[in-house]
Amino acid sequence: MYKLFLRSLISALFMLGFSLNANAEFKVGFVYVGPTGDHGWTYQHHEGRNAVEALGIKTTYVESVPEGADAERVIRQLAQSGHDLIFTTSFGYMDPTNKVAKDFPNVKFEHATGYKREHSNVSTYSARFYEGRTLLGHMAGKMTKTNTIGYIASFPIPEVIRGINAMTLAAQKVNPDIKTKIVWVFTWYDPGKESEAAQALIDQGADIIMQHTDSTAPVQVAEKAGVWSFGQASDMQRFAPKSILTSIIDDWAPYYVERSIAARDGTWKQQDTWHGLKEGMVAMAPYNSAMGSDLVKEVEQLQKDLASGKVHSFTGPIYDQKGNILVAEGAVADDGMLAGMNVYVKGVEGDIPQ
């Protein structure tokens, strides 16, 4: 009897604690797929969180949350413990985010790189990384001697395929002979596997290594092997000072700040954001002078043109691998087509794994 009383007292206290918490100050939660120190994808989201925190808004984060059953549990837990706005920062959190959003209509959710907004409290946001890939392709096409570009890909989703296509199109423009070799590692973050993949590509004759995975392992392998590489998500220059030509940087901070303030002030509305070089959500790390000042100038000009809209990464004519036309001459791919891209363009080798 006494134990029962104690138990109910404790749970009552817990409930009180939770509800007090819920009524207290405005809080923002973040769910990360990797560790904050990956110096890639998650690191940049964490920088965004730091910017929100700097405003005096209270934030919480949970790192290294696997995409799967755990994700829903973590998101639900954040929603339950009084967070008003929750950023879920990986593609695989798409369904769990929408599922939890249904049960917590008063909590706002922001899902990165996804396309499902099943409830009015779910927004999606992403960056036009492919604009960065266009710049990478231009440099790769000019810098390769073996005409072979090695590409470490994570999962066969539109975002990754778009990057491969944008890079290949840009490289073909300056060097029609290039080949893109792709290795799928089926992980966002496994340095062992990523470096094995990089080594395999180098052994197969690639002298440019590009990655759509989050660790610094591939650029380190490239540095050791003396081939060129590009950093992913954040400036990886110090991990491979000689090899890295530039890095695509994701800058989430302005968006996180804007959305957090909106949610706090009650002006938050559902939206789908897709920002690029123009808005600064995609930025480029300093260009390596080893590629020569002429090429640096060229790339800087291309970067300006992409930002101003004068050049589009997917300008027709674009053909798929079988030679069917995807984008007509003179036209540009619309966002709907980009968002659902699931075929390779002509010049990419191999098939997309299922």
Partner 1 sequence: MSFDLNFIGILIGAIMASSVPLILAASGELITERSGVLNLGVEGMMIIGAISGFALMVVTDNLFFAVVGSMLSGLIISLIFGLLTQSLLTNHVATGLALTIFGIGMSAMIGKNFVGIPGKEFPLLFLNLKESIPFLGPIFFGHSILLYFAFGLPFLTNFFLKKTKIGLIIRAVGDSPTSASNQGINVTLVRYSCILYGGAMCGLAGSYLSLIYTPQWIENMTGGRGWIALALVVFATWSPIKVLIGALIFGGITILQLHMQAVGLRIPVQLLSALPYIMTIIVLVVISRDSRKIKLNTPTSLGQIFYKEK
8 A C-beta contact, residue 245 and residue 229: yes
x/- binding map, residues 40-69, to partner 1, per CB under 8 A? ---x--------------------x-----
Asked if 347 interacts with partner 1 (CB under 8 A), we say no
Asked if 226 interacts with partner 1 (CB under 8 A), we say no
Asked if 193 interacts with partner 1 (CB under 8 A), we say yes
| Residue number with CB closer to partner 1 (279 or 320) | 320
Given 239, 252, 255, 287, the residue binding partner 1 (CB under 8 A): 239
| Residue number with CB closer to partner 1 (249 or 327) | 249
Beta strands across the sheet bearing 272-275: 58-62, 27-31, 85-88, 108-112, 122-127, 272-275
CB neighbour list of residue 289: distance below 8 Å, 6 or more residues apart: 296
Asked if 353 interacts with partner 1 (CB under 8 A), we say yes
Given 37, 226, 286, 309, the residue binding partner 1 (CB under 8 A): 37
Closest CA to 315 of 165, 151, 180, 157: 165
Closest distance of CB 151 from partner 1, Å: 10
- Candidates 5-13, 196-204, 253-261, 314-322: pick the segment binding partner 1 (CB under 8 A): 196-204
Asked if 39 interacts with partner 1 (CB under 8 A), we say yes
- Candidates 99-107, 117-125, 189-197, 314-322: pick the segment binding partner 1 (CB under 8 A): 189-197
Asked if 189 interacts with partner 1 (CB under 8 A), we say yes
Given 73, 102, 238, 304, the residue binding partner 1 (CB under 8 A): 238
**336/177 Cα distance (integer angstroms):** 30
8 A C-beta contact, residue 55 and residue 258: no
- Candidates 54-62, 70-78, 215-223, 335-343: pick the segment binding partner 1 (CB under 8 A): 215-223
Asked if 149 interacts with partner 1 (CB under 8 A), we say no
Enumerate long-range contacts of 101-106, CB under 8 Å, 24 or more apart.
Answer: 103/76, 103/79, 104/79, 104/80
8 A C-beta contact, residue 165 and residue 316: no
**62/37 Cα distance (integer angstroms):** 13
8 A C-beta contact, residue 249 and residue 232: no
Asked if 319 interacts with partner 1 (CB under 8 A), we say no
Phi first, then psi, for residue 350 (nearest 5°) are 90, 180
Asked if 74 interacts with partner 1 (CB under 8 A), we say no
Specify which residues 273 forms β-bridges with.
125
Contact residues toward partner 1 (CB under 8 A) are: 35-39, 43, 64, 150, 181-186, 189-193, 195-197, 199-201, 203-206, 215-217, 220, 238-239, 349-351, 353
